[in-house]
Amino acid sequence: MPHIDSHAPGTFTWVELHSPDQKGSKAFYSSLFGWTAMDFPMGPDEVYTMFNLEGRNTGACCHLRDDLKAQGVPPHWLLYVETANADETAAKVGAAGGTVVVPPFDVMQFGRMAVLQDPTGAVFAVWQSMMHHGTGITGVPGTMCWADLMTTDNSAASAFYKAVFGWEFNAGTDNSGYMHIKSGEEFIGGMPPSKYLPAGVPAHWFAYFHVVNCDESTNLAKAAGANLCVPPTSMEGVGRWSIIGDPQGAMLALFEPAQH
C-alpha cells in the first residue's frame, strides 16, 4: 500500500470527524472502510479516536462539542491543510478577508494548529506538523481522495485560497464550470459552480473517500444506517460516486475512480 510520511504545505494532511456519537461512528466506519480505531484520553470523559488502515493513520473522530451543537453546527468532517507555519498562515487568513475561529495553539508535542474560515463561510483547519504528520496512507480504498469546496461565491473563495496557500483554480475541459484546485503540482480538490450548493446550506468543505465499488459500498452504508442523498452516479473518464449522510449525520462522498 502507498505509505506516506509527510505532506507538502498547501495539501490536505488530515481529516477529522466531529460526531455526537463516537461509539456509533467507530462501528459505522469500521464496517464501511475496514478502519480500526484506537482511543486516546483527551480530558475528563473525552477521548480522541484515531482511525487507521494497515497501522497507518487515515483520520480521526472526536465528540461534537455541546457549544458547537448549540450554535447549530451539525456533525461534520473537518479538513486540515498542511502548513509550514500555523501562525503565519493565520495572519494571511485575516489579511485575505477570512476569520481566525480558533487562534494557533500547540497540540502537545504533535503539532500546531488553527481553525479558520474563508470569506464565504467555509471552515477548515491548518496543521503544522511536529511529531504527527497527518494521514499515513493514500491512494487505496478507505482513504480520503478528494475534496470539494461548496460555496456561493466562487470568485471570493478562489482569491482567498490563492492568497493564503498559493492554490491555482483551473477550469476543466467539459464546460461544466467545475474548477480543479491545484497545490503546487498536485490536484487536491475542486470547486463546483455555486448553483450546486443547496439553498440554506452554508459554505463548507466536502470530503470524498476512495472505495473499490461505489454501488456495493453505498448499499453497505445504507444497511449500516446511512442516509442516501445522491445515488451512485457516473462520469465518463472520472469515476462513480454517491453522497451519503452517516448514521450520526455527517455528510461524505464514496468515490470509485474510473479504470484507466
Look at residue 211 in the predicted model and tell me its pLDDT: 98
Q: Is residue 76 part of a domain?
A: yes
Q: Nine-digit cell at 199?
A: 439553498
Per-residue model confidence as pLDDT tens for the chain (260 residues): 599 999 999 999 999 999 999 999 999 999 999 999 999 998 788 999 999 999 999 999 999 998 889 998 999 999 999 999 999 999 999 999 999 999 999 999 999 999 999 999 999 999 999 999 999 999 999 999 999 999 999 999 999 999 999 999 998 777 788 999 999 999 999 999 999 898 889 999 999 999 999 999 999 999 999 999 999 999 888 999 999 999 999 999 999 999 86
Q: Is residue 104 part of a domain?
A: yes
Q: Is residue 224 part of a domain?
A: no
Nearest CA to 74 among 121, 19, 36? 19
Place of cell 475534496: 147
Q: Nine-digit cell at 89?
A: 498562515
- Parallel, antiparallel, or unpaired: how do β-strands 36-41 and 99-107 relate? unpaired
Q: Is residue 58 part of a domain?
A: yes
Q: Is residue 3 part of a domain?
A: no
Q: Is residue 205 part of a domain?
A: no
**Domain CATH number, residue 24:** 3.10.180.10
Q: Would you say 181 and 169 are in contact if contact means Cβ atoms under 8 Å apart? A: yes
Angle at 43 between CA 38 and CA 45, to 5 degrees: 75
Q: Is residue 167 part of a domain?
A: no
- Parallel, antiparallel, or unpaired: how do β-strands 12-19 and 76-82 relate? antiparallel
Q: Is residue 143 part of a domain?
A: no
Look at residue 259 in the predicted model and tell me its pLDDT: 83
Rg over alpha carbons for the chain, rounded to the nearest Å, is 17
Look at residue 90 in the predicted model and tell me its pLDDT: 98
- Domain encompassing residue 52: 12-129
Q: 67-93 burial string, b = 16+ CB within 10 Å, else e?
A: eeeeeeebbbbbbbbbbeebeebbebb
Look at residue 175 in the predicted model and tell me its pLDDT: 78
Q: Number of folded domains in the chain?
A: 1
Q: Note the helical H segments in the chain.
A: 22-33, 66-70, 86-95, 154-165, 214-223
